[in-house]
Amino acid sequence: MIRHPDIRYAATIAARSARVAGVLLVTAAMVTTASFAQTVPVPKPAPKGRDGAPAGGPAVTGATQTPPNPVIPDPRRNVPSSIFQTFDANQKAQAAKVSAYLSSLQTLVGNFVQVGPDGSKTQGDFYIQKPGKVRFEYDAPSPIDIVADGSSLVVRDRKLATQDVYPLSQTPLRFLLSDRIDLMKDTNVVSVSADDVYVSVTIEEKQALVGTSRLLLMFGAKDGQLKQWTVTDPQGYDTTIAVYNLDSSKKLDPGMFKIDFTNYGPSPG
């Protein structure tokens, strides 16, 4: 039977998503396998810079010294998906505050804890340089690094010396890495809510060949700082990443965000 090129393309994308899904914001399952699952170890300090000095300074935005327990969304939650969703003045004001906060960030360094769809935990360090650059380094035994150089994003397996390459523009990560963003204008916001602990904003994306995915961003209600995000893939699986020990003053080495196409080949298959 002859398969239509679009169908073959969709199948290829789905297969790759299944391999690296869950590593971060591209998809949701790689680190959920038993070989990558690990118990969260003893708390460690914020990441050190390339000069060996600990990250710090007046712009340290998170006072947490221990890994947080990520808030796992109820998988049965019902999020409105209508593009005609309306918001009241308070919701619009909350979204505006979140937009202003995200737009104000130029660099951000910290630690993260990731919870996969099966409940397994991994953790590591992350480095953001806006616009468009990020590096996620997973702690052992995970061999995974994620690097975005402003246009492309790679999910790298150091053990296999392979990497999957994606256009950054096709990943939800671009919302966090945009130089300036107005959530209400630049994204399809389908939900804005707030309580005494969190302000939550849900963004929905629909892609013809892949399906519908959602990005749930959560910020502290009192300090307005980024606390965690959850990516829901088109199959409905959630991957949650909580961040802590945040520092927005650290100067980063541009070389951290260069993609190595020489020592890492494309993922087989």
pLDDT digits (tens, 9 = 90+) for 67-118: 998 998 887 676 665 555 789 999 999 999 999 999 999 999 999 999 999 9
Question: Hey, which residues does 133 pair with through a beta bridge?
Answer: 129, 149
Residue position matching structure tokens 């502290």: 220
How many Cα atoms are found within 13 Å in the side-chain-facing hemisphere of 96? Answer: 7
Q: Would you state the structure tokens that stand for residue 193, as one six-digit string?
A: 């809510």
Whose structure tokens read 């949701």? 28
The residue type found at 252 is L
Residues of the chain falling short of pLDDT 70: 1-65, 76, 78-84, 268-269
| Dihedral sign of CA atoms 5, 9, 14, 16 in order | positive
Residue in the structure block whose two tokens are 């699986």: 237
At 214, which helix (H) or strand (E)?
strand 211-220
Tell me how far the alpha carbon of residue 187 is from its chain's centroid.
16
DSSP string, 123-188: EEEEEEETTTEEEEEEPTT--EEEEEESSEEEEEETTTTEEEEEEGGGSTHHHHH-SS--HHHHS-
Q: Which of 141, 129, 159, 136 minimizes the C-alpha distance to 263?
A: 159
**Which residues are registered as beta bridge partners of 145?**
137, 156
pTM: 0.74
Query: What values do phi and psi take at 7, rounded to 5?
Result: -70, -45
Task: Tell me, letter by letter, the H, E, C secondary structure of 239-256.
Answer: EEEEEEEEECCCCCCHHH
- The alpha carbon torsion through 74, 75, 76, 79 (nearest 10 deg) reads 90
Q: How many helices (H) and strands (E) does the chain have?
A: 4, 12
Which domains occur in the chain, in start order?
A: 5-258 (2.50.20.10)
Report the distance separating Cα 125 and Cα 143, nearest Å: 13
Q: Which amino acid is at 81?
A: S
Per-residue model confidence (pLDDT) at position 209: 75
pLDDT score at 92: 95
Per-residue pLDDT, 60? 52
